Structure formats: C-alpha cells, structure tokens
Chains A and B, each alone.
Chain A
C-alpha cells in the first residue's frame, strides 16, 4: 500500500491501517534502536515507544521528509532519553561496586557476541566515541544513510555531519593502529 494512502487511513482512525503501519515500521525502527542501544530488549521497548509516539503524532507528519526519516528522528529522540537513563544507572552501579570494593562486572554483552577479534575491537572503539561522533557513524555505516539524511535526522548541517564523521574515522583509525600490535587482529587495508 502506498505510504500516503496508509497514513491518510491511519489519520481517519482506521485500526487495520494503524496496525499495518505499526507492523511495517517496527523492524525499521527496531533496527535503528538496537544499533544505538545494543540491548535487544531495551531496543524493542524503545521501538514500541517511538511507534506509539509516531501513531499519536501522525497528524504532524507533513510529508516534507520521507516517512522513514521522520520515524528515525522520533526513534533517535527516544533512544537518547534511554541512553541517558542507562548511563545514570551504570554510574550508580560503578559507585556501588566501588563502595563494596567489588571486581569490575563481567565483560559487556557486546564484547562477547561479536566473534571476530578485529571487529570486536572496532565495535569497542565505536562505543568509546562520544555521542556526537558515534551517532553519525552508526547512521552512515550501520544504516547506510546519505549525509544529507543524517543531517536532517540529527538537526545539524551536512558540513557538521561530515566533520564529525572525519573526527570519528580518525579516532577509529588511531584506536585500531595505535599502541601494541594486534596478534591475529585487524588489518584494515
């Protein structure tokens, strides 16, 4: 079904159309959420929260941007809020661990699911980037988005996206090549 027709039906209160919209959008929205939040359960909830926001604000969708761009913007905002909460929880945990002089927690999930050593190292380097650099990298290389669309979603101009990507690429390169040798590890040439 064509997007404009589907949206019009949703706005008219057609429950089947809304269900179709939600079902069609969920995988797209989930994929963005999990690329940012890493945890599938958290991402599933974020995706559903973003879809709920989308359904309740469909009347505000003007069609200037593509529907996916609009959905991505909503999802990104939900994810940013959840990231802040996750970080606060992490800080609390570290504080508790420090007080009780416990060992550091086990390696994070992402360090154990990516099998290839070089890619694991790259994933860790991406996670270590600040949010300003990390989000453009994820949108560009995880989701293959053009710089113009990234600019639209992040609400910054193309030149800023480009310069943040440049900073990120330089840091990733340094993280991979700097320091000690990497036995069996990554050769990115």
Chain B
C-alpha cells in the first residue's frame, strides 16, 4: 500500500473529522502523522476548532430556555392558529414601531423649535383649540442638518426625505 503524501493526508484529516475514514485509511493517516509535524499541527488546529464549536453550541443551548409546550394547541391542530396570531403580533409590533418612531421624530423636531423654513410646515399660529388644523402626519429628521427640503404644494404639505416624497395630510386651510 502506498503511503499518503502531504496533500492526501490533509484531505484524510478532514475525512477523519467527519467519520468517513475506514480502518485502513485511518492507519495510513496515522503513519503519515507519525512522521509529519506539519500535519500534526493541522490536526491539532482542526480538533481545536471542532471543540470550540461544540463548546460554543453547548453554551448557546444552555442559554436558551425551552418555553412550555402548548399541548392542547398542537393536538388541536392549533399550530396554524398560532402562526396567524404571531403574524398579527408582528404586524402590530411593526405598526407600533412606526408610530413610536414617528412620534419621536416629530417630538424632537417640535422640541428643537426648528425654523419653519427647515421643518415640515406646522402652522403654530392657529389656535390650539383647533386640533383639526394640525397635520395628521409630520416627519422630521432628528439630525441637526436636515436632509429634506420642505414643500407646500397644492394645499398639501410635502417633504423630500432622502430622495423620498413624504406627504402630510393637511389641516383645513387658513381662512
């Protein structure tokens, strides 16, 4: 039987790691390793990586607690129902996120008291008793250097933010 060369031995090391060597091939690899420090180093590295992977996964597994089984739901074919409710929860969460972001950006803009020529137009001269005059949508960039250009066109308030046109539903026209 011919002896393994260096390259064949490296391939054999990988096959050994995956349990794909038969007894004869394993013996051939051992003979090569006995005389080759380079391949022994390679083997040590490979085994180190494998052990590190196992440790990492063990730690991950231990850090992930299993939620209780909703047995009735599984038995009643409730998995489909669970999918729907999860989808609904995700949509709700996305909507909430959008609202929070919107409220935050508006809040920051108003609080900062931006000049009207930089902010999306919110007419502060209107009496506070006319809540309907407040635009239902206003988007402001929180950065001190606004990246949008406000426009008032066709009675609608619009702003271009990062190349996108944002349209605010306007309140009633001033008399």
Q: A residues engaging B (CB < 8 A)?
A: 15, 18-19, 22-23, 26-27, 30-31, 34-35, 38, 40-41, 43-45, 48-49, 51-53, 55-56, 89, 92, 96, 98-102, 110, 113-116, 118-119, 122-123, 126, 137-138, 140-142, 144, 146-147, 158, 161-162, 165-166, 169, 172-173, 176, 186-189
B53 in complex: contacting residue of A26, A137, A146, A187, CB < 8 Å: A137
**Chain B positions 67-109 with a Cβ under 8 Å from a chain A Cβ:** 67, 69-71, 73-75, 77-80, 82-83, 86, 90, 94, 97-98, 101, 105
Nearest Cβ on chain B to A110's Cβ, whole angstroms: 7
Binds A, one of B12-20, B28-36, B115-123, B130-138: B12-20
Binds A, one of B1-9, B55-63, B167-175: B55-63
Q: B residues engaging A (CB < 8 A)?
A: 14-15, 17-20, 44-46, 48-57, 59-61, 63-67, 69-71, 73-75, 77-80, 82-83, 86, 90, 94, 97-98, 101, 105, 141-143, 147, 161-162, 164
The listed residue with most A CB atoms (<10 A of its CB), out of B51, B53, B94, is B53
Give the residues in chain A near B71, CB-CB below 8 Å: 19, 22-23
Q: A19-B75, A35-B60 are in contact. Are A189 and B67 (CB under 8 A)?
A: no
A49 touches B67 (CB 8 A): no
B67 touches A55 (CB 8 A): no
A49 touches B55 (CB 8 A): no
Q: A99-B162, A101-B147, A146-B19 are in contact. Are A56 and B60 (CB under 8 A)?
A: no
In the bound assembly, the distance between CA atoms of A186 and B64 in angstroms comes to: 23
Nearest Cβ on chain A to B22's Cβ, whole angstroms: 14
In the bound assembly, the distance between CA atoms of A15 and B72 in angstroms comes to: 11
Main secondary structure of the interface of A (DSSP, over half): helix
Q: A30-B66, A40-B67, A100-B105 are in contact. Are A48 and B59 (CB under 8 A)?
A: no
In the bound assembly, the distance between CA atoms of A100 and B166 in angstroms comes to: 12
Write the chain A residue with the least CB distance to B90.
A89
A172 touches B49 (CB 8 A): yes
B57 in complex: contacting residue of A15, A116, A142, A166, CB < 8 Å: A142
Give the residues in chain B near A100, CB-CB below 8 Å: 101, 105, 141
Q: A122-B53, A162-B18 are in contact. Are A102 and B48 (CB under 8 A)?
A: no
B57 touches A162 (CB 8 A): no
Q: A173-B45, A188-B49 are in contact. List 5 more A-B contacts (CB 8 A).
A: A34-B61, A114-B60, A116-B59, A142-B60, A172-B49
